[in-house]
Structure formats: C-alpha cells, structure tokens
Amino acid sequence: MHLELFDILRCPYCGGRLELVTSLPHRAASDRIHDGILGCHCCIFPVVDGIPVLHLQPSAITAREHVEAGRFPLALRTMIGVDDAAQAEQFEATAANAQSTYRDVVAAMGPNFEGGYFLYRFSDPTFIVANAVVRAVASTVLHGTRRAIDICGGSGHLTRSLMDLSTPAPVLADLFFPKVWLARRFTAPGCAPVCCDGNAPMPFVKGAFGYAMCSDAFQYIWTKRQFVGEMSRLVDDAKAGGAIVINHTHNQLTWSPSHGQPLAPAGYRDLFEQLTPHIYGEAGLFGDVVDHGRVDLSRADSEDALNSDPALTLVASANDAVFRAHAVTKPEGLEREFRINPLYAIEQRGDTAELTLTFPDSAYEDEYGACRRYLPERASVRLADLDALARGERPSAATDLLERRVILELPVNYY
Ligand SMILES: [Zn+2]
C-alpha cells in the first residue's frame, strides 16, 4: 500500500488514524508498505502483500499472527485461502510467473475460490449497463480531480471503468482478499485495494471520495441502512455535487437465481435519508445502451416498471448534470489486449476465423442470455485483422466486431 493511503484510511471500529507499528516485523520500501502491522486506538490489523486487511474475520486474525511473527508468505497463503500445502505451492509458482493469466491464477487458487463466470464478465448484460452508468456518473462528478471508491468491487471489473476518471486512482474495497489481489494484478492495475467488511463501518475518513459505488452486491449486504449512510459519509459533498451509485441490486418483488436479501424499490428509496435517489429498472437502461449507445439518466420509470424489473439501479446526487443522457464511453489510456470474446468457439478456415456463439452452460444462458441482443450467433474475422489487433492497430473491418463486443478490449494477460 502507498503511504498516501494513510490520509484517508481510518479504523472501521474506532475511527482512529492508522499507522505502521515499526517495532513489529515489516517490509516497507520508500513510499510503500509491503507487509506489516497497522495500529489505531483500539486494535491492530495486518498489511498482507501490500493490501491492508481491515476486518477481524478468522483469516485476518491468523494472517495478523503470521505477520507479527515475520511469516509473510504464510500470511498471504492464509488470505488467499490456500491452506493445503500442495495447493499453496501451485498458487505461489503460478503467481511468480509473469506470463500467468488471470484464468491461470484463478485455477491455481483451487476449489476454495469461486471463479464463476468472471471470464465472460466484460460482455455480460449486467456489466454493459453498469459500465455505462458508472462512467456517465463518475465522469460528471469527479472532473479528474476527485477520487472514486468501488465498494464490494470484487475482482475489479468495474474499478477498471473508473481508472481514467478518478484522481488519485480509485480505491477498490472488498471483503474477499483473493479478488482484490487479482484486481490489482490484472483487472485494474494501479487501483488501491483495501480488504474490509461491507457490513461494518467503512474504514475511510469522511469526504474522502467524490463518487462511491456498489455493483451487483448490495442485495447481499445485511446492514443496508448503515451501508448507504456510510456511502453518504464517504461522499460528504453528495449534496453539493458528488454521487452515490448502486448498480444491479435485486428486486424483492421478482424472482432471481441468486437473491440475497433484496428490498422492493420503495424499500431501497427509504434507505436514503439525505438525498432522494433516482431509481431505474435495468431493462430500460439496457435498451438505451444496446439500441442507442447511450444511457439516459433523465428517464423516469413508472412504479410498475420498477416493481417488475428483476434488477434496479440507484443514483443519488445533488448534481443535476448527472440526470441527463450520456454517450457510452470507454476507459482511455489503459493497457489492454484485443481478443475474441471467450463466448465464441473459433474454427479456422483458410485465412479466416469462423466464430460461433457458445455459452459455457445453460445456467449462464438463463442468466445472461440477453447478450444475444448484441452478440451475433455467428461472425467471421480475417486472421490478418486479428494479427493487426494484436499489434495494437485497429483495422476498419474490426470496428463493427468491437462495437458488437465480438472482439473485446481486455486487460493484459486476462485469459
Ligand atoms: Zn480502532
């Protein structure tokens, strides 16, 4: 962790400033802490492989004991969750190899790590909508001079969408250490990862951010009222121009394969005490993005439309410029690779790759089948165009395939 993070980090339990306990074992270099113990008024927390772990779950306690004894590699094994020695060695060998991909590392983390459909994340309908909303709102309120936080941001797919909008680089906060570790290495290099509990007060000082978000996770938070209160506290100028965004939270009035503890639209509205949130059904936003290449935050969905939509988006801000139509934009200046969308099976015929849309299983198709609105059943691409993309050129024949997300801009070494 960079030392400047101390300016905004606070203990989640006593609110005190944190500092490195220099009398205990630590590894630090100039402006960064690699491993060590942080102390506040009430307790101590470990920094493991550069990531502060600011909660008191059993893995964090064990990792702290390892760090206190100078056993830094064992602290990392504990936080990654590779307890079995053979699994741990496989993880460490894969992590040490600079050529390893995100997919390789996920596989090496073993069966304890829930990899899910991460491979397909950058083209799934939930991501398409969230990315558009996130970039629309964050670019409006941050002006390149304020910082964003992605809470419960998992392995950082949407944190990546904030990289060129947030200054300093966005904070990625999640309870699950392996995911923020993966995000820092692959998905959102340069972000500031923090491991903390979304059901506890957030370990940051009031007003540290201009934009706070939570995507596809809010329904799993039990302390929802506290969570929204904390987002408001972190963006303490939400009334003056910052913004709070909750993407893809499930609707209690509809069925979902992975429900969590969702609320109805009226319940979500009541969580907000300082600002009245705008609530959108995801279906309307999805239509905006797919059919018009924009996201219209001036839309006012009817109560019926909200009550019948399985997923909702909430945006709270006093900045009226947020609530208008925004063109969908892509992050600029990130290191990336152009690759064929992994949802396509590839068959090479002569100098052409023939592509066929192929879902990993029926559960994926059930949940994300709406991607058919933009992903064609079949496509073909000249191998020469793929080679040009690999060199970083953008042949005109590939423009449409990029637009349709048949070819994707992915993080380097993603799969
Ligand atoms: Zn404390």
Average pLDDT over residues 336-351: 94
- Per residue in 268-307, pLDDT (tens digit) is 999 998 889 999 999 999 999 999 999 999 999 999 999 9
For the domain bounded by 120-327, which CATH number is listed?
Answer: 3.40.50.150
Of the two residues 113 and 401, the one the predictor is more confident about is: 401
- Count how many residues are written for the chain: 415
Going from the Cα of 54 to the center of ligand 1, the distance in angstroms, rounded, reads: 10
Q: Is residue 114 pLDDT above 80, yes or no?
A: no
b/e for 60-95, b at 16 or more Cβ within 10 A?
bebbbebbbeebbebbbbbbbbbeeeebbebbbebb
Residue spans per domain, the chain: 3-116, 120-327, 337-410
SS3 130: helix
Tell if the pTM clears 0.85, that is, is over it.
yes
Q: Is residue 166 pLDDT above 90, yes or no?
A: yes
Going from the Cα of 203 to the center of ligand 1, the distance in angstroms, rounded, reads: 10
Average pLDDT over residues 117-136: 95
Q: Please identify every residue whose CB atom is under 5 Å from ligand 1, which is an ion.
A: 11, 13-14, 16, 40, 42
Average pLDDT over residues 383-398: 85
Say which amino acid occupies 168: P
Going from the Cα of 217 to the center of ligand 1, the distance in angstroms, rounded, reads: 26
- Per residue in 175-187, pLDDT (tens digit) is 999 999 999 999 9
Going from the Cα of 58 to the center of ligand 1, the distance in angstroms, rounded, reads: 17
Q: What is the reported pLDDT for 256?
A: 78
d(CA 277, CA 271): 9
Instruction: Round the CA-based radius of gyration of the chain to a whole number and report it.
Output: 22
SS3 20: strand
* Confidence band of 239 (pLDDT split at 50, 70, 90): low
Going from the Cα of 33 to the center of ligand 1, the distance in angstroms, rounded, reads: 19
DSSP 273: S
Mean pLDDT of the chain: 94
Copy the structure tokens of residue 300: 């006012």
Q: Is residue 116 pLDDT above 90, yes or no?
A: no
In the chain, the percentage of residues whose pLDDT exceeds 90 is 87
Contact status, residue 347 vs residue 353, Cβ threshold 8 Å: yes
d(CA 19, CA 37): 8
